[in-house]
Structure 1
Amino acid sequence: MGELRSSQWYGGGDRNAYIHRAWMRRGVPDDAFDGRPQVAIANTASDLTPCNSHLTEVARSVRDGVFEAGGLPLELPVVSLGETQLRPTAMLWRNMAAMATEEMLRANPIDSVVLLGGCDKTIPALLMAAASVDLPAVVVPGGPMLTGTFRGVPLGCGTDVWRLSEEVRAGTLSREEFVRSESAMIRSRGHCNTMGTASTMALVAEALGMVVPGLAGTPAPDSRLLTGAHDTGRLAVELIGAGRRPSTVLTKASFHNAIVALAAIGGSTNAVVHLLAIAGRLGVDLTLDDVDRIGSRVPVLVDLLPAGRFLMDDLHRAGGLRAVLREVRDLLDPTALTVTGKPLVEGLDDAEIWDPEVIRPRSAPLVAEGGIAVLRGNLAPGGALVKPAAASPHLLRHRGPAVVFDSIEDFHARIDDPDLDVTADSVLVLRGCGPRGYPGMPEVSNMPLPKKLLAQGVRDMVRVCDGRMSGTAYGTVVLHVAPEAAAGGPLALVRTGDVVSLDIEARRIDVEVPDDELARREPAAAAVAAYARPARGWQRLYVDHVLQADTGADLDFLLGSSGSDVSRESH
């Protein structure tokens, strides 16, 4: 296996080695420091991150696997981000969680790491950290929850929250019935059971090669998740001897395959900003143009909410990600490796679709060309995203007058005003919600529709925003507009009444205002007044250094890998 990194702490007979060993001799085997690989288990379990609270049990199975393979498992609690709990938004803390985890991995005497994540931002943050420190690493996704039902109907976590809440606003569902559904929404441990960001990032992590093939998407209560965790613990020891690091797995070919997978599963738009950030930590040249070129014409094969009908435990019983990848095998890069050291495409011939309603065969896709589309135009010179599979067909090409909101507070104050000048043809424009302006790029782009239009039966409108939307959401939403309004983007110059044109096929989003007129305009004073101006702490650091969505919204000083070397000793 060669000399272990941890031997820099534990090897030899000097005072420093004595201190390092003595303080760690708390019930460990006598040979714990005599050539035993030290394997960290980076655990995001927290009672305040309910989707990850079961990861302590998963960690025990990882520990068993590490011990069995001759390593010493060391649980390392890391920053945990609960999507449903954190204010103002969990995205504000993704980069901090990544930076803190990176530093803890680098600073401690470990030889490899198992990354336990589940909720939306935890797997991206862990992968960003692992890419930066470049120690041997492997991910165990926490898995989706089982499907709950209400009045005999399956509930999609997140998606049906949005749907039912809109029905309340439309007057077709009582508030009492809405509250009654709450106890049925979360049936078990695990993350959202729709194809939201958590499910998407688990599957994308496997497509990247960072998960044992076939493990991602295993439901959280399924005992096979614990078996996979045990096997991953053994693999974490093997990785050390093989010298298999994130930089050897996360190549441009791996990102190619992740984009194909993202499209085929109908995954969350949030995955794009996370993939760009992970690539940035590695120095891999990945751009929005790659996302569009590789993924936009890929067929959507997975019929899951929010774009389809089924849920994550259905996907698992139907054959899982491996069955999906088999259908698009010709689109995958065969050179990309996984943490096992074998190509991602190896063994796909053994994968089968057990329910063609859930996983459609290539010959009968859910959407023929449904991957995430990248739009450009004078409203988004740096690019914007739209998810055609979640959009209404009649709105894929649309022109309409803008109704502009200068902040999310402005939106909430006016959207249900009966005197608001808005029709089904209007385009709702919300600004000040980008990485810098909010700060943290909140999931507000899928704006609730005006109550008076809901009462008329309208259920979708074109919406444009520099923020994000939940992966569990749906609708014709143009989001991640770059540059954001707070960074001087053209979105800051749009006025109510300006005609906005959307043409997804042509990949365009424009405001029909002459260039010279736009150049003369000043940003709306109300919008500027609402931009974030934190005075201290993480938010100040974030606003001063965050990049735009088109490059991953990471911090500018965190780009590139710093490696695992520690330059100074502690004693």
Structure 2
Amino acid sequence: MRSAAWFGQGSTGGGLRAFSHRSRMRQLGYLPEEHLGKPVIAILNTWSDINPCHMHLRERAEQVKRGVWQAGGFPLEFPVATLSETFQKPTPMLYRNLLSMEAEELLRSYPVDGAVLMGGCDKTIPALLMGAASADLPALVVPAGPMLRGHHRGRTLGSGTDLWAYWDEFRAGRLTECELSEVECGLARSPGTCMTMGTASTMAAAAEVLGMTLPGASSIPAVDSAHYRMASASGSRAVAMAREGLRPSQILSREAFQDAAATVLALGGSTNALIHLVAMAGRAGVTLALEDFDRIGDRTPVLADVRPVGRYLMEDFYYAGGLPALLLQLSKVKDLLHPERPTVAGTAFHEYYRDAATHDGDVIRTPETPVAETGGVAVLHGNLAPDGAVIKHLAADPRLLTHTGPAVVFDSYADLRDRIDDPALGVTADSVLVLREAGPLGGPGMPEYGMLPIPGYLLEKGVTDLVRISDARMSGTSYGACVLHVAPESHAGGPLALVRTGDLITLDVPARQLRLEVDDAELQRRRAAWQPPEPHFERGYGALYSAHITQANQGCDFDFLARPGRNPLPDPH
């Protein structure tokens, strides 16, 4: 075991440093026989008082420890940074790579033989897996799990998705303050992540398909007793993985990432998954590009009827059979999945779904009765997005998927917030709203501004969707004809920086095109006059971030983390 290098054997083995380390373990209250010679399992726990998605993880860590002890291991809990999508500003995406660095360096620098990664809120699972892939010690994920469904006056509510919808109803004058307060009380009523197919549910499912959780782990509601049992089983399995030496580098193959991409698309999952999977693949030494998602999406039916694309919620999805049931249906698409690859369970991937059953065919569809025949996310290119952009077209008004209209440009989110409801803007149902300075550098951190609000005066007229374009992201619970992740971003001099109000823009999803209908000569004149914005940060982590962040199509990782290179393990003596 790697940890033996820290502790040695017996009362004199290992020299001075081992003597010191054993002394400090006694200071912690542990007898030598409790830990010497046993696999030491680090439990990286993202619990925090400020993160409602993870509020149960302090308790759940005790079940993980129980599993570690039962399997003959020695658990050590490490509190790590929490990324709360609700409260952390301007966005937790600014700090995803920081958490990945923390996870990597904790695993690298302490006497641990394996790890259990605990988290769920949007950026957390990607960050923990990025760090684990870079450290390459045996590790698996315990997903936080979705919260229970929301309720309001006999109607089920989906966190995020219904938040946006009811807020627009309030802005349009169709909902009173009292009714809005009732919705506020019913939207989120238990620990856990958003119970729609938002980023958290999408990335938990991706982790399972990558083979980095136990079978079925991603769908279990946070407060279900099955979640306790899964946590304990994960602790036990981490001990076995440490003994076997089963590392992420043996699991995170190109085939694994292809299967994760197919599953994200079959779920009607979050557009954020494209950024995260590209970054995670990069840490694993795997090349994954936006074009891979489009190619895979052409063959992948949408099988989960879950909001915001569908009608149901994650609790319904779990009762209908969960991810294993969806994977069994997806495996019927010829040559789509790779069933024989390894997983943290020590079995081939097909064992995750071979014996699954679907208990509600409305929630989890068959390839013959899909929600949609092809994946719900399209990758766009054109002179407005030379390096790509994405749109979750299944969550958009179909009439807007082929559309040409005049741009209404906002230079920042503050500009948007100040002017969006001003009737003098002249926004109509044909307008194309454009937001810039919202990308990885410009945001900063690429905040979830991409579901630009519809002007209140249009909501009052019954307009529910507009074409919206930005270099931002949007919540996985959001919806609408929102073109996102435009690359290169405007702050870096991408074509989005050159758009002016009144310019015609064409969105053609069937042709995968996003075009600014301005001739090249005029764009060159605008380019010559363009001045780069001032940087947001001059010191601290923000300055490090700004100097090294990559663009959306590259996964928004730090360039020095995404590349191979020497990073030796420490000598404990």
Map 1:108-119 onto structure 2 (within 5 A): 108-119=110-121
Deviations 1:151-209 (A, max 9, x none): 11111001111001111111111122112211111111111111111111111110111
2:375 is equivalent to residue 370 of structure 1: yes
2:25 is equivalent to residue 24 of structure 1: yes
| SS class of match (2:485) | strand
2:546 is equivalent to residue 543 of structure 1: yes
Distance 1:380 1:14 in 2: 60
Any conservation in 1 of the 2:22–2:32 contact (CA below 8 Å)?
Answer: no
Give the counterpart of 1:136 among 132, 138, 160: 138
Any conservation in 2 of the 1:132–1:560 contact (CA below 8 Å)?
Answer: no
Q: Cα gap change, 1:236/1:347 in structure 2, threshold over 3 Å: closer, same or farther? A: closer
Cross-structure match for 2:54: 52
Q: Structure 1 residue 505: deviation in Å?
A: 1.1
How many residues of Structure 1 are paired with residues of Structure 2 in the alignment?
565
Cross-structure match for 1:418: 423
- Residue 404 of structure 1 aligns with an amino acid whose one-letter code is V
Distance 2:324 2:296 in 1: 19
- Residue 265 of structure 2 aligns with an amino acid whose one-letter code is A
Map 1:158-557 onto structure 2 (within 5 A): 158-329=160-331, 330=334, 331-346=336-351, 348-522=353-527, 529=533, 532-557=535-560
- Residue 570 of structure 2 aligns with an amino acid whose one-letter code is S
Q: Structure 1 residue 33: deviation in Å?
A: 4.0
| SS class of match (1:350) | coil
Any conservation in 1 of the 2:35–2:73 contact (CA below 8 Å)?
Answer: no
Q: Structure 1 residue 235: deviation in Å?
A: 0.6
> CA-atom RMSD, angstroms?
1.5
Q: Cα gap change, 1:82/1:181 in structure 2, threshold over 3 Å: closer, same or farther? A: same
Deviations 1:108-150 (A, max 9, x none): 0000000001111111110010011000000010100001211
- Tell me which moved more, 384-393 or 105-114: 384-393
Distance 2:513 2:462 in 1: 28
| SS class of match (1:502) | strand
Deviations 1:409-446 (A, max 9, x none): 11111110011121101111100000011110000000
- Residue 227 of structure 1 aligns with an amino acid whose one-letter code is R
Q: Cα gap change, 1:215/1:539 in structure 2, threshold over 3 Å: closer, same or farther? A: same
| SS class of match (2:386) | strand
Q: Structure 1 residue 563: deviation in Å?
A: 8.2
Q: Cα gap change, 1:275/1:565 in structure 2, threshold over 3 Å: closer, same or farther? A: same
Runs of 4+ in 1 over 4 A off after TM superposition: 561-565
Any conservation in 1 of the 2:411–2:435 contact (CA below 8 Å)?
Answer: yes
- Relative to the length of structure 1, the TM-score reads 0.96
Q: Cα gap change, 1:561/1:220 in structure 2, threshold over 3 Å: closer, same or farther? A: farther
Cross-structure match for 1:64: 66
Distance 1:134 1:349 in 2: 29
Distance 2:354 2:182 in 1: 45
Cross-structure match for 1:5: 2
Any conservation in 2 of the 1:205–1:211 contact (CA below 8 Å)?
Answer: yes
Q: Structure 1 residue 106: deviation in Å?
A: 0.6
Any conservation in 2 of the 1:296–1:371 contact (CA below 8 Å)?
Answer: no
Distance 1:178 1:123 in 2: 32
Cross-structure match for 1:98: 100
Distance 1:379 1:193 in 2: 34
Cross-structure match for 1:123: 125
Any conservation in 1 of the 2:493–2:532 contact (CA below 8 Å)?
Answer: no
Distance 1:378 1:516 in 2: 13
Distance 1:534 1:81 in 2: 20
Distance 2:249 2:210 in 1: 11
Distance 1:523 1:324 in 2: 52
Q: Cα gap change, 1:125/1:280 in structure 2, threshold over 3 Å: closer, same or farther? A: same
Deviations 1:324-356 (A, max 9, x none): 111111321223321112221225331111011
Distance 1:171 1:120 in 2: 32
